[in-house]
């Protein structure tokens, strides 16, 4: 190679190395080419080093790119931009800012190096991620000085920076002043409104969008799910499909929580079929969401099928399945699965322990529950949180160990919340323990003075013990505080549409029809009872 290069000019040698670097190059070959570049004394070529930095960026070898950049004594704008881009891609945002500052110093000293439309999108993104508000405003001023306002990519970066800072007023102002808006511009501002909980403004913008992408649809679905508007999330998901936009795995994960909260099992099953057909079940996050959906919609066996068919399981997979089994009273299976998890050398996290402790509590496995609770510190070096103490108090209460439960509550490193005292009060009803119930009620009166359910629970304990004076006292307290019981709510899915019913709500158009059918059923039942009562004892053979 050296002999052939002897007749080439410096420019010709650079072109030849540039041609070699133009092809796809791995790091091993890059280092060999770099060695030849050094050998021919052209290692100060910003042109060649820029290409090598780009290759390092593609291979995520940022350390080697940094060495290349630092050995250049006089970098040009292209090399600065390549280094800024590489640092940003590697999430080294502080280094991005430092290189930009170095570039500005060279701009002032040499008057030949200027930031351009390829510089600012990455610098502005770094400012946004680092929340450097003052620096971001300075960078915005530099961008305007160098003519960035007419560049759509740069404007989108500025818009994203304002959204990251939750500065929607400036973001909206910039959006209105933009010479050209693309789908990225619309999505950024819609996402900002959603993050701030401004779903109405986000929806208005969403409807005004000239062109919607899967990102736009998914943002609206996840936004509605986040604020508890689950029916609206499903409506947007259906409309997305009607308009011919195919859901991706991200949109499936966004809509599945709505299926969980509404009990929309049939829609969840369709999502499972769609995910399987499109290869999305290869992703652990999709499978985890499917497991949770099935478990919380009452189909724990189907949840287990998804879990068993997963190619790879992470700690979330194990924890979700253990929690699902616990909630369905399958404590023994949950314990066996936890033991499998330990054999698979997957370290349980805090959520895993909530699941296994809950399983022990529902089944009354006091010894096992205490063992797992103690193992958190001793084996896994994890400090129990209030939710773990709550599970253990619930377990001790269910098994009638009230002295131990009160001792645990007293020794907790944090203040017990209403959930802990509430579970203890509930256990007192099961075991008719009035003494502990009164203690729990006193604490609940401090934490939740207006919760009707607590008064009703204590009233039921008095009734079980025949203490009608206590029952009367509780009822007087409820009336004196003018408390109202939260109306019961039920959901039913018919033809993939979820209907919600509230106790005493006659607002639905078909309420009268429902009541008429209930009357007919009641009449039919009473006639059946009368018929059974009039059948003679010796008529059994005739009926058979």
For residue 475, being part of any structural domain is answered with yes
In a domain, 285, yes or no: no
Burial class (CB within 10 angstroms; exposed 0-12, middle 13-18, buried 19+) of 485? exposed
**What value, to the nearest 5°, has the Cα angle with vertex 268 and ends 267 and 270?**
65
Residue 238 has pLDDT above 70, yes or no: yes
Q: At which residue do the structure tokens 């999108």 appear?
A: 121
Residue 509 has pLDDT above 50, yes or no: yes
- As a whole number, the mean pLDDT across the chain is 84
pLDDT in tens, 518-530: 777 777 765 554 5
State how far the Cα of 233 lies from the Cα of 254, in Å rounded to an integer.
Answer: 9
Tens digit of pLDDT for each residue in 108-144? 777 678 888 889 889 988 988 888 878 888 887 887 7
Instruction: Answer yes or no: are the C-beta atoms of 391 and 358 closer than 8 Å.
Output: yes
Q: Helices (H) and strands (E) in the chain — how many of each?
A: 31, 2
The answer to whether residue 463 is domain-embedded is yes
Q: How many domains does the chain have?
A: 3
CB-based contact 462:470 (threshold 8 Å): yes
Please answer whether residues 257 and 225 qualify as being in contact, where contact means their C-beta atoms are separated by less than 8 angstroms: yes
Confidence check: pLDDT of 543 > 50 = no
- Residue 343 reports pLDDT greater than 90: yes
Tell me the pLDDT band of 539, cut-offs 50, 70 and 90: very low
Tens of pLDDT along 484-495? 555 556 656 555
pLDDT of residue 536 exceeding 60, the answer is: no
Q: Please tell me the least confidently modeled range out of 298-312, 351-365, 438-452, 485-499.
A: 485-499
CA 160/CA 174 separation, integer angstroms: 11
User: Contact 268/259 with Cβ under 8 angstroms?
Assistant: yes
Q: Which two tokens stand for residue 134?
A: 């003052």
Provide mean pLDDT across the span 216-228. 94
CATH number, residue 445: 1.25.40.10
Predicted TM-score (pTM) of this structure: 0.72
Q: Are 184 and 193 within 8 A, CB to CB? A: no
Average pLDDT over residues 287-302: 95
Q: Say if 289 falls within a structural domain.
A: no
Query: Looking at the domain assignment, is residue 442 inside a domain?
Result: yes
Residue 369 belongs to a domain: no
pLDDT, tens only, 81-117: 999 999 999 999 999 999 999 999 888 777 678 888 8
Considering the domain architecture, whether residues 425 and 477 belong to the same structural domain is answered as: yes
Residue 316 CA to its chain's centroid (Å): 12
Q: Which domain holds residue 4?
A: 1-56
Residues 482 and 524 in one domain: no
> What DSSP assignment string belongs to 421-444?
HHHHHHHHHHHT-HHHHHHHHHHH
- Residue 414 placed within a domain: yes
In this predicted structure, what is the pLDDT of residue 500? 63
476 and 408 in one domain?
Answer: yes
Note the pLDDT of residue 96.
95
| Listed residue (454, 452, 453, 503) closest to 480, CA to CA | 452
How many CB atoms within 10 Å of residue 478?
16
As a whole number of Å, the CA-based R_g of the chain is 33
Rounded CA gap, 389 and 408, in Å?
Answer: 8
Q: What is the mean pLDDT of residues 277-290?
A: 95
Q: Is residue 71 part of a domain?
A: no
Shared domain check, 480 and 532: no
């Amino acid at each position: 190679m050296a002999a052939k290069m002897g007749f080439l000019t410096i420019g010709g040698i650079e072109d030849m190395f540039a041609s070699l670097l133009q092809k796809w190059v791995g790091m091993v070959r890059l280092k060999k080419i770099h060695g030849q570049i050094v050998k021919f004394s052209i290692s100060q070529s910003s042109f060649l080093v820029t290409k090598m930095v780009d290759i390092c960026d593609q291979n995520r070898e940022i350390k080697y790119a940094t060495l290349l950049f630092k050995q250049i004594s006089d970098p040009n704008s292209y090399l600065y931009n390549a280094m800024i881009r590489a640092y940003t891609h590697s999430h080294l945002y502080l280094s991005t800012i430092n290189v930009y500052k170095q570039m500005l110093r060279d701009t002032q000293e040499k008057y030949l190096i200027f930031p351009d439309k390829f510089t600012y999108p990455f610098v502005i993104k770094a400012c946004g991620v680092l929340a450097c508000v003052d620096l971001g405003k300075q960078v915005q001023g530099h961008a305007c000085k160098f003519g960035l306002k007419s560049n759509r990519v740069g404007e989108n970066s500025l818009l994203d920076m304002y959204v990251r800072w939750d500065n929607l007023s400036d973001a909206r102002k910039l959006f209105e002043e933009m010479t050209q808006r693309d789908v990225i511009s619309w999505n950024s501002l819609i996402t900002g409104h959603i993050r701030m909980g401004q779903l109405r403004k986000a929806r208005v913008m969403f409807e005004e969008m000239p062109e919607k992408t899967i990102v736009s649809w998914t943002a609206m679905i996840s936004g509605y799910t986040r604020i508890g508007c689950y029916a609206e999330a499903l409506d947007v998901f259906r409309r997305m499909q009607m308009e011919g936009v195919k859901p991706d795995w991200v949109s499936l994960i966004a809509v599945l929580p709505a299926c969980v909260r509404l009990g929309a099992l049939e829609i969840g099953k369709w999502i499972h079929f769609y995910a399987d057909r499109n290869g999305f079940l290869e992703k652990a996050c999709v499978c985890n969401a499917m497991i949770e959906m099935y478990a919380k919609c009452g189909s724990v066996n189907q949840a287990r099928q998804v879990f068993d068919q997963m190619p790879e399981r992470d700690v979330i997979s194990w924890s979700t399945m253990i929690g699902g089994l616990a909630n369905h009273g399958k404590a023994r299976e949950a314990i066996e699965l936890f033991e499998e998890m330990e054999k698979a050398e997957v370290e349980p996290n805090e959520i895993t322990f909530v699941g296994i402790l809950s399983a022990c509590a529902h089944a009354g496995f006091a010894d096992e529950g205490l063992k797992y609770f103690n193992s958190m510190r001793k084996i896994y070096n994890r400090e129990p949180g209030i939710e773990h103490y709550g599970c253990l108090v619930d377990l001790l209460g269910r098994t009638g160990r009230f002295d131990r439960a009160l001792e645990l509550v007293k020794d907790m490193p944090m203040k017990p919340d209403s959930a802990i005292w509430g579970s203890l009060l509930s256990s007192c009803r099961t075991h008719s323990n009035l003494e502990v119930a009164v203690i729990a009620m006193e604490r609940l009166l401090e934490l939740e003075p207006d919760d009707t359910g607590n008064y009703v629970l204590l009233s039921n304990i008095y009734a079980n013990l025949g203490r009608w004076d206590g029952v009367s006292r509780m009822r007087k307290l409820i009336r004196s505080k003018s408390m109202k019981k939260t109306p019961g709510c039920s959901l039913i899915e018919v033809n993939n549409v979820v209907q919600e019913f509230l106790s005493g709500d006659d607002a639905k158009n078909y309420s009268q029809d429902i009541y008429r059918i209930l009357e007919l059923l009641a009449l039919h039942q009473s006639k059946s009872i009368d018929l059974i009562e009039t059948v003679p004892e010796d008529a059994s053979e005739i009926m058979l």
